[in-house]
Amino acid sequence: MSAALKDGRVASDLIDIDPGRRLRAIELILSAPAEPLSDEVLDALLGCVGAAQKTVQRRAIDALALVAGSGDTRIVELLRKSVTGDDRRVRWGAAYALAEIGGRAFAMHVADALSEALSDDDGDIRWAAANLIVRLGREYPAEIRGRLIVLGADSDHNARKMALYCIRDLGLGGADLLAVLERAVRDSDVHVRLAALAVLTRLTDASDAAAKLALGCLETDSDPGVRRAAAVALGNLHNSSPHAAAALRTAAADNTDTSLARAARGALERLEKR
């Protein structure tokens, strides 16, 4: 072990209230990832994954991933314990660190922490968690699909919204999803309604029921952004029923909302090319 890492001050700096001291200690570890860490230093570094400062948290995660990649087998097991601990921010940081390590370290045992993070107040955390859930969903499709269907009806509006975007990115479909979307297009939160339409826009097994949901949003939603998204969805769903075509023509002639009119014209053009 290098003299610097032998110094007990590294561990004390990692738990210091000064973010600058913590970062300097982390950078020291990053500069020599193959150097073995004492239990004291490793415990202090693990504590940094729950740091309130994003920079400290992220650099600690970088250091843990790099040291784990250099052969320290303790890290994955310690992170697996942290991902089920009492501190929400530590749970998220540990899940993210396991994702950075990858391979067998990133598996279904992180799903609860990632699902929880979908409702976080911090948008950066929500989107990072969503990206990791999509990644996990490609490895464990059935398990993640079931989890997202449940989250799509969660009591938290952010969780509902982010679950829908994960569903979109994974290209999920099915009757149970349509039931979730039926509720979501009438959600009190406009962002959840927009997320539901983002899913409808991407459906590859679209049905008349899916088109009916988009049509209802186009004709009755109070939000102009939702109406525009509904017009786009109708064009992408390739539903050329007389009712849908008439609604799109009405929207295309709307002089009060040029963006809606443009979206409706684009949808009609796509329908005509079928």
∠ Cα 131 137 142 (to 5°) = 155
pLDDT at 1: 46
CA atoms within 13 A on the CB side of 188: 3
pLDDT at 271: 86
pLDDT at 203: 85
Give long-range contacts, CB 8 A cutoff, 24+ apart: 221-228.
221/193, 223/190, 223/193, 224/257, 224/259, 224/260, 225/190, 225/194, 226/190, 226/193, 226/194, 226/197, 227/251, 227/257, 227/260, 228/257, 228/259, 228/260, 228/263
Domains in the chain, CATH or no CATH each: 1-104 (1.25.10.10)
Residue type present at position 152: G
Neighbouring residues of 133: CB distance < 8 A, sequence distance ≥ 6? 111, 114, 115, 118, 144, 148, 166
Burial class (CB in 10 A: 0-12, 13-18, 19+), 20: exposed
What average pLDDT values come out for the chain (274 residues) when binned by 10 residues?
A: 63 95 96 92 96 96 96 96 96 98 96 98 97 98 97 97 98 92 97 97 80 95 97 87 93 94 94 79
Q: Say how many C-beta atoms besides its own lie within 10 A of residue 201's C-beta.
A: 19
Contact assessment for residue 250 and residue 215, using Cβ atoms and an 8 Å cutoff:
no
pLDDT at 240: 72
pLDDT at 107: 97
User: CA end-to-end span of the chain, whole Å?
Assistant: 68
Q: Which two tokens stand for residue 220?
A: 């009755």
pLDDT at 207: 74
pLDDT at 238: 77
Neighbouring residues of 123: CB distance < 8 A, sequence distance ≥ 6? none
Query: Any idea which residue has 């970088």 for tokens?
Result: 62
What whole-number distance in Å separates Cα of residue 248 and Cα of residue 264?
5
